[in-house]
Amino acid sequence: MPPLFKDTLKVVNVGLGAFADNVTAAGGECVRVQWQPPALGDRDAAWKLAQAFANESIDRANEVAFARFLEARPVLAGIATAREVVPGMGSGRRLVLHAGPPIAWTSMCGPMRGAVLGAVVLEGWAGNLEAARRLLDAGSVEVEPCHHHAAVGPMAGIISPSMPVWVVENAVGGNRAYSNFNEGLGKVLRFGANDAEVIERLRFIARDVAPAIEAALRNLGAIELKPLIAQALNMGDEVHNRNAAATSLLVRQLGPALLASSFARERAAAALAFVAGNDHFFLNLSMAACKCVLDAAGDVPASSMVTAMSRNGVNFGIRLAGTGETWFQAPANAVDGLYFPGFSRDDAAADLGDSSITETAGLGGFAMAAAPAIVRFVGGAATDAIHHSLRMRAITLGSNPSFTLPSLDFAAVAAGIDARKVLDRGIAPVINSGIAHREAGVGQIGAGVTSAPLACFVAAIKALVETIGSRGTE
């Protein structure tokens, strides 16, 4: 008998668990190593991936893109009406922006349809929701992605011409990014609600909240957003699903400035109370800041750095710095999370919103170690939060020293997702997310953790290598 069968075996099983099961069933011990073939086992993609790793022009391009991303300095430059500042929204177009990659009105999910209808009523293009539906069915209202207009919006992500928007400017590169205002929780437009109360709240935001903050900003001057976000990370936020600290820090600046302004006192009080009453208020500013720093790296030929990840309620889409405005899409993954009482996964819409721009910038799920309290909202234990942050180091170009994680002894957050590494390691970017009801009008029903589908990265790497052609493999 060969010695192998006489000795005690020490088995390490790599990949498929069924082999290990047999060893265990026979009374043996087995260390299981999680592994799957790179590029989802797609031979063509794996070959392209190998070419991409061998391609030094990609490495050089990534250095450029990552440096532009790191050095970008987003500042809150002001507030304006969307039609005045958002590129392509002026000149009286009946245009509604939405979250995620492009999607036709007829293909939209429930919450996004509800939100678009609400926006059409808000704009006065239709007198009621039924009339709004007829306009959309007739093709008389255009719908385009926020991302095509340098903008981002959470969940349905609706921005229509009369809405006030945050204007965030990159003090280094000069590029600007925009986002709408956060309406709070409950029945709100971004979750597909669109009744009179929702519309009236949007009017209040445009009439009182935005101008009051504008008045405060005139006293404060431009607010640097990186230090504010860095401080919030040291106060338990990951600035995606948890913005309690960032919102508090913002209110702490706005309060004295608003008192020192001449803005009508009663309206100022109502506006500040609205802001102070919403722990998520800072989210949209966080998103605009992330969009701004990623757009700084938005067009670097050959780079495999991810510059956008977004969901339209049907598909998940990503963009690379090296392929510019092209989207690479796949069906969105389910969200694994905690549901509010009375709701379950059956009620959930598919993963939705531009807010995964925060993860694209190394925040949100990537910075979960900063926000152990988030697990109370999205499920899991504090150690899970730390593991998410550590795991993301395997798929990024580096880390961002502007943002540190106290529980990891102030290690910098992993940032700059390299699509090659995602595909090679089979590790999908982690994303914190709210969960919308699949029907319009119900609103948020939970929150949880999900991930970007790897199929997007397969398509992106194939396209990137084809774009570069044979030049890179010289």
Please report, as ranges, the residues that interact with its own copies according to CB under 8 A: 231, 234-236, 244-245, 247-249, 251-256, 258-260, 265-266, 268-269, 272-273, 276, 372-373, 376, 381-383, 406-410
Provide the residue type at 106 as one letter: T
Asked if 419 and 459 count as a contact pair (C-beta separation under 8 A), the reply is: no
Task: Give the Cα separation of 256 and 272 in Å (integer).
Answer: 11
Q: For residue 464, what are its two tokens? A: 């990137």
* Shortest reach from residue 249's CB to its own copies, in Å: 6
Q: At what angle do helices 244-260 and 225-233 cross, to 10 degrees?
A: 130
Cβ-based nearer residue to its own copies, 14 or 273: 273
Cβ-based nearer residue to its own copies, 173 or 379: 379
* Shortest reach from residue 376's CB to its own copies, in Å: 7
Phi, psi of 31 (to 5 degrees): -90, 125
What is the CB-side half-sphere exposure of residue 208 using CA atoms within 13 A? 17
* Shortest reach from residue 288's CB to its own copies, in Å: 21
Cβ-based nearer residue to its own copies, 408 or 412: 408
Cβ-based nearer residue to its own copies, 293 or 378: 378
* Shortest reach from residue 274's CB to its own copies, in Å: 9
Cβ-based nearer residue to its own copies, 60 or 207: 207
Buried b (16+ CB within 10 A) or exposed e, 222-236: ebebbebbbebbebe
* Shortest reach from residue 171's CB to its own copies, in Å: 24
Q: For residue 271, what are its two tokens? A: 């506006």
* Shortest reach from residue 234's CB to its own copies, in Å: 4
Cβ-based nearer residue to its own copies, 82 or 254: 254
Buried b (16+ CB within 10 A) or exposed e, 176-187: bbbbbbbbbeeb
Provide the residue type at 256 as one letter: P
CB neighbourhood size of 442 (10 A): 19
Task: Give the Cα separation of 85 and 376 in Å (integer).
Answer: 38
Cβ-based nearer residue to its own copies, 129 or 269: 269
* Shortest reach from residue 98's CB to its own copies, in Å: 32
